[in-house]
Amino acid sequence: MSEGEVVLEFRNVSFRYLTGKDYALRNVSFKVKRGEFIGVIGATGAGKTTLCYCINGLIPHHIAGYMKGDVIVCGLRTRNHPPRDLAKKVAIVFDNPEYQLSQPTVMEEVALGLENLGVPREEILRRIEKALELVGLRGLEKRSPLALSGGQQQRLAIAAGLAMAPEIMVLDEPTSNLDPMGKDEVFEVVRKLNKESGMTVIMVENEIELLVEYADRLIVMDSGRIVLEGDPRKVFEDVERILSLRIKPPQVTELTHELIKKGVKLEGIALTVEEAYSYLKGIMEVGT
12-51 per-position pLDDT tens digit: 999 999 988 899 999 999 999 999 999 999 999 999 999 9
Whether residue 90 contacts residue 171, with contact meaning beta carbons closer than 8 Å, is answered with: no
Q: Which helix (H) or strand (E) holds 52?
A: helix 48-55
Quickly list DSSP for 139-195: T-TTS-GGGS-HHHHHHHHHHHHHTT--SEEEEESTTTT--HHHHHHHHHHHHHHHH
pTM confidence score: 0.89
Domain map (residue ranges) of the chain: 1-89+170-179+192-243, 250-288
Is-cis flag, bond preceding 60, omega within 30?
Answer: yes
Mean predicted lDDT score pLDDT of the chain: 91
237 CB burial (10 A radius; 0-12, 13-18, 19+) = middle
From 118-127, 163-172, 207-216, 275-284, the region with the lowest mean pLDDT: 275-284
Superfamily of domain 1-89+170-179+192-243: P-loop containing nucleotide triphosphate hydrolases (3.40.50.300)
Angstrom distance (rounded) from CA 184 to CA 246: 24
Query: d(Cα 255, Cα 177) in Å, to the nearest integer?
Result: 27
End-to-end Cα, the chain, rounded Å: 55
Give residue 285's pLDDT band: very low, low, confident or very high (50, 70, 90): low
